[in-house]
Amino acid sequence: MTDPASLADRVQEGELRIHELEDEADFDAAAEARRLLLERETDADLETIGDYVFPAERAEPNIENMIGATQVPMGVVGPVAVSGGAVDGERYLPLATTEGALLASVNRGLSAIRSAGGADARVTKNGMTRAPVFRVDGVAEAAETVEWVEENLEALRDAAESTTSHGELLGVEPYVVGDSVYLRFAYDTKDAMGMNMATIATEAACEVVESETPASLVALSGNLCSDKKPAAINAVEGRGRSVTADVVIPGELVEDRLHTTAEAVVEANTRKNLVGSAKAGSLGFNAHAANVVGAAFLATGQDEAQVVEGANAITTMDARNADDGATDLYASVSLASLEVGTVGGGTKLPTQSEALDVLGLRGGGDPAGSNADALAEIIAVAALAGELSLLAALASNHLASAHEDLGR
């Protein structure tokens, strides 16, 4: 193997650039050379960063200028009891986080859900989007372009689907703003999260639009997609998977496991998640859905920046009169734009692949798309558990003491 120290010296002397190391050495030696050089330049000790267990070559599609790996503590919650459209039964869910008390809180919520017979979950919509923006001379040309697009969906579908053996174009929604035309393409990307798939397919379709209409492509993404940014369009129209989970928890169980009442949880949800969020102008009406979504994304190799959209959720709570005269708690969480996959991207990295193995969801499902649907349903139930536990802690005034015990 090439000596990493000599490579680092060559970079420092200007004979090599850091990004050229892959041409001079194997991937592990290149990573070590960068790390040695960085240690010299910064006087930092990077021993722990360099102590990773997988071949650096495995990460080559996922990162440039690699120097090592960040290790985030991973735990497990569950079993997650779910009756879904793609998964039925109990699954353990790995979560990676640095926030103490999070997994304990989610497990408390899951305990209540399991004792109530489990939660229902369904993916209600599926479509990864990419929205290019075109320039036209004015509204007349904009209308001409939109009319052509609406009448020639099959031509766009043929062009888009010629770039992939898996993706399917579901539809194209046009938007006009002055002399700008936005076309929001939506795809079924099966078990892949599908952002790259959608981008490549849309580029091919844009070539057809340019050749057949007065429109000129300005940017392949015009931000109506909308990727990795808070956006109302994702809350309304969805992006990736739109998934909802719900459960009815008997009043006695609320008191026994969550140490509060259905009425108190409902009031906390209304005043905090609904009224408080509205006053704040929030795009998410939930307590902390991002906690579970983010931890699940890190553990299973999802694109962590898409937690922005993935946590775009609404939590609802309702007190229901039971036949025995008790008051039960209905709880739901609806994630409008959860972008997940079980193939491609970070899911191929070793630790993330193992986490998907825990779920039994590594790779493509049968039928195609079922594994990603199942992952979405499991995350939704775990997020619901997190909402139940946190709202119950707030309703019973136990939040601060729980963090003192577990999260300091």
Cα separations in angstroms, 100 against 94, 144, 182, 363, 393: 15, 56, 43, 31, 15
> Cβ atoms within 10 A of the Cβ of 400, count?
9
Task: Check: CB of residue 378 under 8 Å from CB of residue 103.
Answer: no
Cα separations in angstroms, 201 against 160, 243, 328, 342: 4, 25, 48, 20
Beta strands in 250-372 (DSSP E): 313-321, 327-338
Check residue 58 and report its DSSP letter: G
> Cβ atoms within 10 A of the Cβ of 343, count?
21
Query: Which tokens go with 13?
Result: 């002397």
Q: Give catalytic residues, as residue numbers.
A: 99, 303, 403
Task: Check: CB of residue 354 under 8 Å from CB of residue 363.
Answer: no
Task: Check: CB of residue 36 under 8 Å from CB of residue 6.
Answer: no
Query: Which tokens go with 104?
Result: 């304990």
Q: Are strands 180-188 and 313-321 parallel, antiparallel or unpaired?
A: unpaired
> Cβ atoms within 10 A of the Cβ of 124, count?
12
